[in-house]
Each structure stands twice: as structure tokens, then as C-alpha cells.
Structure 1
Amino acid sequence: MLRILTIRLQIAPKPHLMAMKKDQPLFCGNIEPQERTFKSTASTPSFHTRILPTIKHDHQELVYHSQKIFTSTNPDEQTRYQNQFTWELARHLIGEELVVYPAIIASLSDGQEAADRNRMEHQGIKEKLKIFQDLASTDPRFVPTLRGLMDDFGIHARHEEDVELPRLESMLSKDESVEMTKSLDRTKVFVPSRSHPHSPVKPPFESVAGLITAPIDSVADLFRKWPDGKKG
């Protein structure tokens, strides 16, 4: 069943995050949690979790899915987790760019520099993800491409977890941090689920490009295989 999402985009001077209204998330609409969720020994954070543990959990999901690929010798299973990994990583990257990085810019003294560096790192990851998502699991480049991607992603994720996100958290109240998590979760519902490295990477153009691309990805997802044994 298709739901019509009402999206409110505002063009205004960048406010400090502390001054943003808590009842005005970035995206508004009747949005339910995604059905294709992470299942592993790691606990799933609730909708009311602060942003740092939420991002850490995203990173753990991606490591989990990559390990399922590395340890499997079944091409069909590898394809299923390839789709899951791509779906998770593509949405994670764009979600950060739309929700977390603007907050970093607004809250940290070197926020613009930090956001620009992270966007540049994202670009490299997106380019490798684009290659990986299009490879057959039987291709000899399949596993090496994922290993190279995870090497880059691991460096990026550790810096976020150890440096920038703790600094951002220190500037936020608990309520503000939880609201950011909610906004991130809402945003992930309708951003692209595949890598499009040539799309714009800075607001407001990245959000517009994402809204155009996401429905195409969602339709294609219906015909892909997933780890739950069903098609999308």
C-alpha cells in the first residue's frame, strides 16, 4: 500500500541546533518503521535513543551484514546479504548528510570543516558501493571490492564514533538528541536505497535528488532477494 508523504522543506538562515523546535522534525508524515530490519545478537535501539548509540548501531549492522558475506560460500546467500548491506549503507550515508551533518555545522566551531570532510569520505564510499552493488556474487571482484569498501568505511565510522559525534552529543540535551534520532529514522524511509555517487551531496539539492531517485530504487527492491528468504 502506498502512503502519500507530506514533506515540509524550509529555506531559512541556519539556526543553532539548540534553538530548533523539538516538534518540527526535518520530515513530516505518516511514517512507520521499516519492515526490513536488522536481526542479529546486537540489540536494536529504540525510537527514543540518543543519536550517538543510534549511529553506532547502524555501523554494527553494516559490519554484521558484511561478515555474513565474507563467511558465506553460498552465492545466493551472498547476494541476499549484498542487497541488505547496500540497502542499509545507502540509506545511512544519505540520512547522515541530511540530518546529522547540518547539526554538526550548526553546533561545532569547526562544524563546516568536519561536515565537508565527512561528505568527501562518503563520496569515496558511495563510489565503491556503486561498484559493489552491481557485481554478481560469483564475480571474482565481489569479495575484494567489499573488503576495500569496509576498510574505508571502518576508518570513517571510528572517527565519527570517537570524535565528532561525542562532541555533538555534548552540545545537545537528551531531548534534542532523541529528536535527531527520530528525524534520522523518518528520513531513511524515503531516501534512495542504492548508491548514486553522482547525485548532489549538499543541501538543498541532495534532498531533491534523493526524492526523485528513491521511488525508482524502491520499485527495483521489490524484485531483489533478501536474507529473510523473500523478495523485497
Structure 2
Amino acid sequence: MGHGGNVIDELVTDHREVEELFGRIEALPSGDKDRKVYAEQVTMELVRHSVAEEEYLYPAVREHVAGGDAIADREIDDHSKAERIMKDLEGCDAGDPEFDRLCQMLMAEVRSHIADEEQNLFPKLRAACPPQALDDLGDKVRMAKKMAPTRPHPSAPDKPPANKLLAPGAGLVDRMRDALSGRGKKKD
């Protein structure tokens, strides 16, 4: 979270971090309690990433990219699907048979979304936006991730201005809950 560079570099780095966490989940046997810890870490990263994209990336896509409204709407729909899966996953322990099924669904959904962004959306945005605008968006995305929620909120607004108004408050509450519960951390 918070790597530097333009918006595309920032988001691609996030994608690689999420893929690394997916690999950690896949490397462990079914039922291993650490799978839950990594799933919580994935959820935290994905929620922050998604909120930042919805606040800044997709409005820029709507503004600068031909057909941007349809592209942004499709990407937000992908986020909604992943968020519903993450919400269901939140209620499962690693030993729950549903846990593995939900993890597989989340990985498939997110990997498809990442491939679409990196192969289609990002090249279009890079071609349509001046480098300075991409750098400014990178700064905004990094700031948004710091304030963003860390838990899925499927009923929360996903478009400006409502999402920009509500996300920091939800983010503060989520980070407090995470700190108190030890969510996303290995327990000895």
C-alpha cells in the first residue's frame, strides 16, 4: 500500500501483492488456519484498492477514455461481485468447506478483473492521459488507500461524491476493529 509512481504503476504493484497473497493461500493445505489470515490480508488490500479505484481511477476513465462510462461501470460491477464474495468469506473459518469454494471464486473473479484492467483499461488510460495527470492520480490513490475501509461494505456507495464522503469514516472504524481483533495477523 503506497508504492509511489503514477496511478498505473501503483495499481499494478497492488495487483502483484494480491497475487502473492493468493499464492500463499494456494500453497497451504485446505483447513490450515493461516489460509484465513492470508484471506483477511487479501480482503484488506482488495477493499482499500477498490475504494481508491472507485474514488479516483474510474472517474478519470469516464472523463478521459473513449467509452469510459461503460468501462468504469463494468469495473465497478466486478468490484461488487468480489465484495459480496469477500463478505461471505469473512464469516467462514479456514476449516469450513465453504471457505475453499469462496476463496476459489474470489481468486477467479479478481484475476479476471486484474487481467482486464492491465490488458485493456490501463493501456487506454495511459494513451488518453498526460503523464502529469497519471502522476497526480497516483498520489490521490495512495492517499485514498490510507483512509479507505479494510472490510467489505457491499451496500456502501461506489460512485462519487457519496463514496468519498463515507469511506474515511468507515475506514477509521474498520482499522480500529482490525487493531482490536488482530484481524489479518498470525496468532501464536
* 1:51/1:169 contact within 8 Å kept: no
For 2:118, the equivalent position in structure 1 comes to 161
Q: Does 1:95 align with 2:52?
A: yes
For 2:71, the equivalent position in structure 1 comes to 114
Q: How does 1:50-61 map to 2 (within 5 A)?
A: 50-61=6-17
For 2:106, the equivalent position in structure 1 comes to 149
For 2:176, the equivalent position in structure 1 comes to 219
The higher-RCO structure (CA 8 Å, 6+ apart) is 2
Residue 115 of structure 1 and its aligned partner are, at CA, apart by: 0.9
CA distance 1:195–1:163, change in 2 (3 Å): same
Q: Does 1:65 align with 2:17?
A: no
User: How far, CA to CA, are the matches of 1:110 and 1:214 in structure 2?
Assistant: 31
Q: When you count helix as a share of all residues, which structure comes out higher?
A: 2
User: How far, CA to CA, are the matches of 1:123 and 1:137 in structure 2?
Assistant: 23
* 1:83/1:224 contact within 8 Å kept: no
User: How far, CA to CA, are the matches of 1:187 and 1:111 in structure 2?
Assistant: 21
In structure 2, stretches of 5+ residues that fail to align are none
The count of corresponding residues between Structure 1 and Structure 2 is: 186
For 2:88, the equivalent position in structure 1 comes to 131
Q: Does 1:205 align with 2:183?
A: no
In structure 1, stretches of 5+ residues that fail to align are 1-36, 38-44
User: How far, CA to CA, are the matches of 2:160 and 2:102 in structure 1?
Assistant: 29
Residue 80 of structure 1 and its aligned partner are, at CA, apart by: 1.9
Secondary structure (helix, strand or coil) at the match of 2:97 reads: coil
User: How far, CA to CA, are the matches of 1:51 and 1:109 in structure 2?
Assistant: 19
- Higher-Rg member (1/2): 1
Residue 174 of structure 1 and its aligned partner are, at CA, apart by: 2.3
Superposition RMSD on alpha carbons, in Å? 1.9
TM-score (norm 1): 0.74
Secondary structure (helix, strand or coil) at the match of 1:198 reads: coil
